[in-house]
């Protein structure tokens, strides 16, 4: 918005008619009227200038509709709809729906149009009124974030992104979130095998298979979402995790991994409705690498390696078999004693095929 005071003519009081003007001239007339309206906001003259600006922009758009749809005219159409949205936002009362519709058209033509992104966010936020649906806040944040990525040095965008993100965080923090220990208790046990519990010291638990290392970060006070709340950067030798809460980071680790991984085959995702951040790290040498820890310097696990686990499993199975054989031997001895008691004077042994025939002959007598 222009801040310099320029010589202002009184508005005509009538809708401008510039049928003989070119599209560029109409756009420029609209820009001049809008600047004057911005300088004289909430005055009768300001309202009239705003009306003139809207009329000029609409006439220019109508003329463009009859022009050739080349690259230059498409860019002009995008700018005019963005400017028209600015008019709707400044009207009293603001026309949020019309402003959003105008920016939708502009962004359909050029999704990288920063002003259109910013103005659509303003339309969605409706002067930052309280009680907005969370969906509207997130859509506005998405537009502001996209605009900021195009113009990272834009201070106004930075402030708006931070403010909207803070509102989303407050909504998230009000939701009922179970304690971290309860969340961890619901994780599939096989995914935690051969890992460790670093929840109290670092805010995560982990496990591993022959091919993957699983890292689980439970929510702490608020549900997570795929926005600036989460930073997850997986490199060959390093994993950086950062979770932002309402008052700042609630968990931040940026350190070397215990062993190298395959970044292209690794991934992360939110699970359980934002209650768990699940990172899967693909081991570089499957079937050979046992991880003692996730990050260097973190507590090591006492869990056995895959080979040790298999050995323990085999030993346990052998013990079970030996126990079963011993139990069978004891049962057989009881049966043998019963036969000896039933056949006094006869030397009875297991494997004596005459026992069954003798029992039958006794039964027939």
For the segment 37-57, what is each residue's pLDDT rounded down to a tens digit? Answer: 999 988 999 999 999 999 999
The tokens of 341 are what?
């008691």
- Whether residues 184 and 299 fall in one domain: yes
Is 0.75 topped by the overall pTM? Answer: no
For the segment 121-139, what is each residue's pLDDT rounded down to a tens digit? Answer: 999 999 888 888 889 999 9
pLDDT recorded at residue 286: 73
Phi, psi angles (nearest 5°) of residue 237: -115, 5
Please determine, for residue 254, whether its predicted confidence score (pLDDT) is greater than 90.
yes
Mean pLDDT of the 177-205 span: 93
C-alpha gyration radius of the chain: 38
The tokens of 144 are what?
């502001």
- Whether residues 130 and 211 fall in one domain: no
Q: Which domain holds residue 240?
A: 180-303
- Whether residues 237 and 266 fall in one domain: yes
Average pLDDT, the chain: 85
> Is 2 within the bounds of a domain?
no
> Is 264 within the bounds of a domain?
yes
> Among 120, 148, 174, which residue terminates a domain?
174
Task: Tell which residue, 244, 330, 234, has the closest CA to residue 284.
Answer: 234
Distance CA 83, CA 102 (A): 9
pLDDT band for position 346 (50/70/90)?
A: low
Distance CA 7, CA 100 (A): 32
- Whether residues 73 and 169 fall in one domain: yes
> Is 33 within the bounds of a domain?
no
pLDDT recorded at residue 325: 76
- Whether residues 211 and 297 fall in one domain: yes
For the segment 152-169, what is each residue's pLDDT rounded down to a tens digit? Answer: 999 999 999 999 999 888
Phi, psi angles (nearest 5°) of residue 193: -65, 145
> Among 303, 322, 352, which residue terminates a domain?
303
* Residue 254 bridge partners (DSSP): 240
Domain count, the chain: 3
The tokens of 54 are what?
């809207």
- Whether residues 192 and 289 fall in one domain: yes
- Whether residues 264 and 341 fall in one domain: no
307-328: buried (b, 16+ CB within 10 Å) or exposed (e) per residue?
Answer: eeeeeeeeeeeeeeeeeeeeee
> Among 303, 321, 353, which residue terminates a domain?
303
Percent of the chain with pLDDT over 70: 84
Phi, psi angles (nearest 5°) of residue 314: -65, -40
């Amino acid at each position: 918005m222009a801040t310099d005071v320029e010589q202002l003519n009184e508005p005509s009081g009538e809708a401008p008619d510039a049928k003989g003007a070119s599209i560029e001239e109409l756009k420029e007339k609209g820009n001049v009227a809008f600047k004057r309206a911005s300088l004289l906001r909430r005055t009768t003259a300001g309202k009239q200038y705003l009306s003139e600006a809207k009329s000029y922009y609409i006439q220019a758009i109508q003329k463009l509709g009859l022009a050739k749809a080349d690259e230059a005219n498409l860019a002009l159409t995008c700018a005019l709809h963005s400017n028209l949205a600015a008019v709707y936002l400044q009207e009293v009362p603001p026309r949020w729906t019309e402003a959003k519709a105008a920016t939708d058209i502009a962004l359909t033509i050029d999704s990288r149009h920063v002003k259109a992104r910013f103005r659509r966010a303003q339309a969605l936020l409706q002067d930052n009124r309280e009680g907005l649906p969370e969906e509207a806040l997130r859509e506005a944040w998405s537009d502001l974030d996209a605009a900021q990525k195009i113009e990272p040095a834009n201070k106004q965008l930075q402030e708006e992104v931070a403010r909207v993100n803070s509102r989303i965080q407050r909504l998230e923090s009000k939701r009922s979130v179970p304690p971290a220990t309860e969340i961890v208790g619901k994780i599939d046990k096989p995914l935690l095998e051969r890992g460790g519990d670093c929840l109290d010291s670092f805010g995560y638990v982990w496990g591993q298979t022959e091919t993957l290392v699983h890292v689980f970060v439970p929510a702490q006070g608020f549900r997570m979402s795929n926005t600036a709340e989460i930073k997850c950067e997986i490199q060959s030798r390093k994993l950086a995790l950062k979770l932002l809460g309402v008052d700042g980071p609630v968990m931040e680790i940026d350190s070397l991994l215990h062993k190298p991984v395959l970044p292209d085959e690794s991934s992360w995702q939110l699970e359980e409705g934002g209650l768990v951040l699940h990172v899967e790290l693909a081991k570089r040498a499957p079937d050979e690498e046992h991880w003692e820890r996730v990050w260097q310097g973190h507590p090591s696990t006492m869990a056995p390696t895959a080979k040790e686990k298999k050995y323990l499993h085999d030993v346990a199975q052998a013990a079970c078999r030996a126990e079963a054989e011993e139990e069978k031997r004891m049962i057989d001895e009881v049966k043998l004693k019963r036969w000896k008691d039933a056949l006094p004077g006869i030397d009875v042994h297991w494997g004596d095929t005459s026992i069954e025939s003798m029992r039958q002959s006794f039964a027939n007598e």
